[in-house]
A and B are shown apart, each in its own frame.
Chain A
Amino acid sequence: MKAVLRRIGPSGVLGGFLATVLIVFAVLGPWLAPYDPVALDLRARLGAPSAAHLLGADEFGRDILSRLIFGARVSITVATTTVALAMVIGVALGLTAGYLRGWTDRVIMILNDSALAFPGLLLALGIMAVVGASTTAMVIALGIAFAPAVVRVTRSSVLSLREREFVEASRVMGNAERTTMIRHVLPNCVGPLTVLATAMFGWVILAESALSFLGLGVPPPAPSWGNMLAAARPYIQEAPWLIILPGLCISAALLGANLLGDALRDLLDPRMQS
């Protein structure tokens, strides 16, 4: 444990700490938040931080601290489901392409490269233009938008693994291709995929808050850091804390994901060390 801590360094520890705080808030939110995040209290409207509302209240008098805590829950839920979706799609396609090679590989990679020809957020915007804006639509859109990166990483690990002796051995022993792939090839892709998933976690939190800021993500009144920023924009002069606080939360979450991602990369993938 000590050796691991030394290898990931102080910035990795900070990243781990930020991520832990975020997850604790997300999981324990209902018990930690002092108020209901959607409860209105018009007397407290645009109130500055005070004893009753520690971080102030928004334009409907809703408690900011409670909304920020529930916002963590929204961000973590969206990020976890989106990353899981992108992983499932990406690993399935990448494994198939890298292991079967031939025409299957070529078709998957041409489609994949075309998906990569769209900037990620644009692809998500395009999908949401068709299916309409909702949290579910956003998760599906972002999951599809981020899957091509997973396909690439999985395929390239599989390509280097499939020539190795233990994969050959499994084939010689008469195991079916599918068994070889799932039991022997896939577990060896876990390292690079973990690094990618951590980085992707940050990208998704950023994309979610950007889409919610544009009014195309988590719909109000549900609290998300992005839609809180959008709602607070008209009050930027009277109540600047409404703008400052959600942004600090997004930045802390992103910093956590970035630092943890760097540390995991150094730990798990010596080839990518900087």
Chain B
Amino acid sequence: MIRFMLGRLALAIPTLFIVTLAVFAMVRAIPGDPASAMLGDLATPEMVARLKASMGIDKPLPVQYVIWLGDVVSGDFGRSIGNDEPVGPLIWERFKVSASIVLLAVALASMVAVPAGMIAAWRQGTATDLGLIGVATLLLSIPSFWLGLMILLVFGLGLGWFPILGSQALSGSWREWAAAIAMPVLTLFLVEMGSIVRMSRAATIDVLRQEYITHARAKGLSESAVMWRHAFRNAFAPTWTLIGLILGALLGGIAVVETVFTIPGLGRLLVEGIYTRDYPVVQGCILMIAFVYVVVNLIVDMAYPFFDPKVAR
């Protein structure tokens, strides 16, 4: 078990290394001098010269990379071109907003969708199954930003239950925060249900075909005992991996939902950084999201043997 975990950890290190290399290369790929690009059009020659010195531009590229990586590891992501704020704390503040939305939505979606998928599989071919799989496929086909706009139209503008601007998600009180993130959480909850129900159903069907299930049934166990005691753990394993992938991928795609509800999250920060060519911010956001994606998948893989002990051997 411990060997499996260490092995998986060792696999993540080259990936993280290449991720940092790619993000470093990104800014160097911009045509022209990277220090001027990083500082934008309004920079004075002195500012460019200062940044050049701190980036080690006159030194060879591998040395520049090491200098940059050292800064990043110690939490120094540079300063934003837009407002000269340090990028590190800015990203952390916005990340907390996005992460709370994504975590809540995925946790709620899993709690509903995993049992729903298992029930569909258990009742395979019946009206219950067709109804559940139909709703799931429909949810999978609705873009999150459009569903968000519809929810905004109904619950924000029509019924007036929630504030239509989500800016309180960053600085408001506990209640204001909850009201601000309610609609984005509902949106992502519905969108992610689709894929989780489908995966949970497919995995459960696979498990129910296996001999040990027939055996459990043959020895006279009740259907619910077969389902929850014998099928659940094995059927949940592949769904667990999918949930991890969703958690990471959502953070990359959350910009659209944050745009709909004007939530000041990490996705919005990234997109605004791209508009204004604020490269330190863009670089920091991409690095943060990719890092979280790798780490979340690492944690998910490490917990995998808990559901499927065969893997650890």
A210 and B290 contact, CB distance less than 8 A: no
A214 and B271 contact, CB distance less than 8 A: yes
- Any chain B CB within 8 A of the CB of A30? no
- Any chain A CB within 8 A of the CB of B30? yes
Q: Which of B29, B138, B146 has the most CB of A within 10 A?
A: B146
The CA of A240 and the CA of B15, in the complex, are separated in Å by 45
A122 and B289 contact, CB distance less than 8 A: yes
Contacts of B251 in A (CB 8 A): 119
Contacts of B149 in A (CB 8 A): 229, 233, 236, 243, 247
The CA of A215 and the CA of B142, in the complex, are separated in Å by 20
Contacts of A125 in B (CB 8 A): 252, 255, 270-271, 274, 286
B198 to chain A minimum Cβ distance, whole angstroms, is 8
B286 and A210 contact, CB distance less than 8 A: no
- Any chain A CB within 8 A of the CB of B95? no
A119 and B137 contact, CB distance less than 8 A: no
B286 and A126 contact, CB distance less than 8 A: yes
Stretch of A38-46, A178-186, A250-258 lying at the B interface? A250-258
Interface residues of A in 212-260 (CB under 8 A from B): 213-216, 229, 233, 236-237, 240, 243-244, 246-247, 250-252, 254-255, 258-259
A141 to chain B minimum Cβ distance, whole angstroms, is 12
B19 and A117 contact, CB distance less than 8 A: yes
B3 to chain A minimum Cβ distance, whole angstroms, is 21
The CA of A215 and the CA of B274, in the complex, are separated in Å by 10
- Any chain A CB within 8 A of the CB of B190? no
B249 and A120 contact, CB distance less than 8 A: yes
The CA of A130 and the CA of B31, in the complex, are separated in Å by 9
Question: Which residue of chain A lies nearest to B147 when distances are taken between CB atoms in the complex?
Answer: A247
Contacts of A118 in B (CB 8 A): 19, 22, 252, 286, 290, 293
Q: How would residues 210 to 253 of chain B score, 1 for a CB under 8 Å from any chain A CB and 0 otherwise?
A: 00000000000000000000000000000000000000110111
A214 and B15 contact, CB distance less than 8 A: no
Contacts of A254 in B (CB 8 A): 140-143
B30 and A130 contact, CB distance less than 8 A: yes
Contacts of A128 in B (CB 8 A): 274
Q: Count the A-B residue pairs with Cβ separation under 8 angstroms: how many?
A: 128
Stretch of A48-56, A106-114, A187-195 lying at the B interface? A106-114
- Any chain A CB within 8 A of the CB of B294? yes
The CA of A252 and the CA of B143, in the complex, are separated in Å by 10
Contacts of A252 in B (CB 8 A): 141
- Any chain B CB within 8 A of the CB of A209? yes
The CA of A172 and the CA of B73, in the complex, are separated in Å by 54
Interface residues of A in 61-120 (CB under 8 A from B): 110-111, 113-114, 117-120
- Any chain B CB within 8 A of the CB of A153? no
The CA of A113 and the CA of B293, in the complex, are separated in Å by 13
A129 and B282 contact, CB distance less than 8 A: yes
- CB < 8 Å: which of B141, B145, B201, B274 contacts A255? B141
Question: Which residue of chain A lies nearest to B17 when distances are taken between CB atoms in the complex?
Answer: A114
B143 and A119 contact, CB distance less than 8 A: no
Interface of B, helix, strand, loop or mixed by DSSP: helix
B145 and A259 contact, CB distance less than 8 A: no
The CA of A60 and the CA of B272, in the complex, are separated in Å by 26
Interface residues of A in 250-274 (CB under 8 A from B): 250-252, 254-255, 258-259, 262, 274
B290 and A117 contact, CB distance less than 8 A: yes
CB-CB under 8 A for A130 and B29, given A117-B15, A119-B249: yes
Is the interface on chain A under 10, 10 to 19, 20 to 34, or 35 or more residues? 35 or more
The CA of A126 and the CA of B285, in the complex, are separated in Å by 10
A258 and B137 contact, CB distance less than 8 A: yes
The CA of A201 and the CA of B10, in the complex, are separated in Å by 35
The CA of A126 and the CA of B293, in the complex, are separated in Å by 15
B143 and A210 contact, CB distance less than 8 A: yes
Interface residues of B in 258-294 (CB under 8 A from A): 259-260, 270-271, 273-275, 277, 279, 282, 286, 289-290, 293-294
- Any chain A CB within 8 A of the CB of B1? no
Contacts of B202 in A (CB 8 A): 274
- Any chain B CB within 8 A of the CB of A121? yes
Question: Which residue of chain A lies nearest to B246 when distances are taken between CB atoms in the complex?
Answer: A119
Contacts of A119 in B (CB 8 A): 248-249, 251-253, 289-290, 293
B290 and A255 contact, CB distance less than 8 A: no
- CB < 8 Å: which of A111, A215, A246 contacts B275? A215
B279 to chain A minimum Cβ distance, whole angstroms, is 8
The CA of A130 and the CA of B248, in the complex, are separated in Å by 23
A213 and B259 contact, CB distance less than 8 A: yes
Interface residues of B in 150-178 (CB under 8 A from A): 150, 152-153, 157
- Any chain A CB within 8 A of the CB of B26? yes
Contacts of A214 in B (CB 8 A): 255-256, 259, 271
- Any chain A CB within 8 A of the CB of B127? no
The CA of A113 and the CA of B275, in the complex, are separated in Å by 29
- Any chain A CB within 8 A of the CB of B62? no
The CA of A251 and the CA of B270, in the complex, are separated in Å by 26
- Any chain A CB within 8 A of the CB of B60? no
Interface pairs (11), CB distance under 8 Å: A118-B252, A118-B286, A119-B251, A125-B255, A125-B274, A129-B273, A210-B253, A229-B149, A243-B149, A247-B149, A254-B142
Extra contacts, 17 of them, besides A114-B14, A236-B149 (Cβ < 8 A), are A114-B19, A114-B22, A118-B19, A122-B253, A126-B282, A129-B274, A209-B143, A213-B256, A233-B149, A233-B260, A243-B149, A251-B141, A254-B141, A254-B142, A255-B137, A258-B141, A274-B205
